[in-house]
Amino acid sequence: MPPRAPLRRRLLTLTSDLGAAYSAQVKAVLVRSVAPDRILELTHDLPARGVAEAAFLLRAIGVRFPAGTVHLAVVDPGVGGWRAPLAIACADGSCLIGPDNGLLVPLAQALGDPRAYRIDERRLRRDPRVGTTFDARDVFAPAAAQVARGGRPSSLGPRIRPVDLSLPEARRRGGTIDGTTVHIDRFGNVITNVPTGWVPPGAERLRIRIGAVRRSVPWATSYEQIGAGRLGALGSSFGTVELAVAEGNAARRLRTRVGAPVRVVVERRSALNR
């Protein structure tokens, strides 16, 4: 038997909402074609069926990887339906594989010059399908493996215009900022889309409104500075304003969810001294 050809060493990331059991089956397909040390499982606890929140997180994660990385990402509530299987080639040589439901678009736009292709299953080297509701294993993983081994995204199928998904952007009017809750992390911290840079240097407190809840909270640089059990605001690792209860759960305290509108007003020093 001739020696096996060496595997191409292109980095492949795997991100999903699938949990452990389903993601293990996806990885089993990948390791037969891609060197295991070139597969990075980033997370499998993305918000279940939460496409917009997952797209925000995928963009934040994916832009930090080297040029030429293959990103396989799956949050796919429409699996088995009319949505297309998608491959997107980007300017830096990276390729994104996943469902055409908007999940991949924010990262693709951040990487630049996205060109999208509908994956034709007849062009894939893969095992026979089992069922119709596991495209992550039966379609996306074989497609990602082909690209990771040197295949061109354009060889997977015809060009298409992908489903757009524009993440919400915060707006400023005078001293008032209107934004959105875009992520709630496992600690209950509320991540907004309000850029941290919009809070001026020297700010001490913010007035916030989320739904019917209104609070005046300290603007801090650490959870310790906020104080155990207290609600405060600080700059998140995403570069946006985060609301947190130190050693507690801000989402529960504020009775909020992803997609809830957020209003932020920086309190003037004169108001603080009244």
Same domain, 130 and 178: no
Has residue 162 been placed in a domain? no
Task: Give SS3 for 27.
Answer: helix
Same domain, 34 and 139: yes
Same domain, 150 and 205: no
Same domain, 138 and 215: no
Same domain, 133 and 42: yes
Same domain, 151 and 28: yes
Q: What are the residue ranges in the chain where pLDDT is below 50? A: 1-7, 270-274
Q: In this predicted model, what pLDDT tens digit does every residue of 79-109 receive, in sequence order?
A: 999 999 999 999 999 999 999 999 999 999 9
Q: Residue 79 burial (CB < 10 Å; 0-12/13-18/19+)?
A: middle
Q: In this predicted model, what pLDDT tens digit does every residue of 141-165 receive, in sequence order?
A: 999 999 999 999 999 999 999 999 9
Structure confidence at residue 274 (pLDDT): 40
* Residue in the structure block whose two tokens are 């989402």: 251
Domain count, the chain: 2
- What percent helix, strand, coil does the chain show, rounded to 5? 25, 30, 45
Same domain, 16 and 141: yes
Has residue 3 been placed in a domain? no
Contact status, residue 193 vs residue 180, Cβ threshold 8 Å: yes
Same domain, 139 and 260: no
pTM here is: 0.90
Please name the amino acid found at residue 140: F
Structure confidence at residue 211 (pLDDT): 85
Structure confidence at residue 272 (pLDDT): 43
Has residue 226 been placed in a domain? yes
Q: Which of 156, 191, 218 is the last residue of a domain?
A: 156
Determine the Cα–Cα distance for residues 110 and 114; give it in Å rounded to an integer: 9
Q: Which of 156, 183, 212 is the last residue of a domain?
A: 156
Has residue 145 been placed in a domain? yes
Query: Residue 25 sits in a domain of what CATH number?
Result: 3.40.50.10790
> Domain range spanning residue 49?
12-156
Structure confidence at residue 269 (pLDDT): 61
Same domain, 176 and 152: no
Has residue 198 been placed in a domain? yes
- Write out the two tokens for 115: 């060109």
Q: Which of 121, 156, 191 is the last residue of a domain?
A: 156
Same domain, 143 and 70: yes
Structure confidence at residue 126 (pLDDT): 87
Has residue 6 been placed in a domain? no
Same domain, 115 and 249: no
Has residue 134 been placed in a domain? yes
Has residue 164 been placed in a domain? no
Structure confidence at residue 270 (pLDDT): 47
Q: How far apart are the first and last CA of the chain?
A: 85
Query: Residue 192 sits in a domain of what CATH number?
Result: 2.40.30.90
Same domain, 191 and 105: no
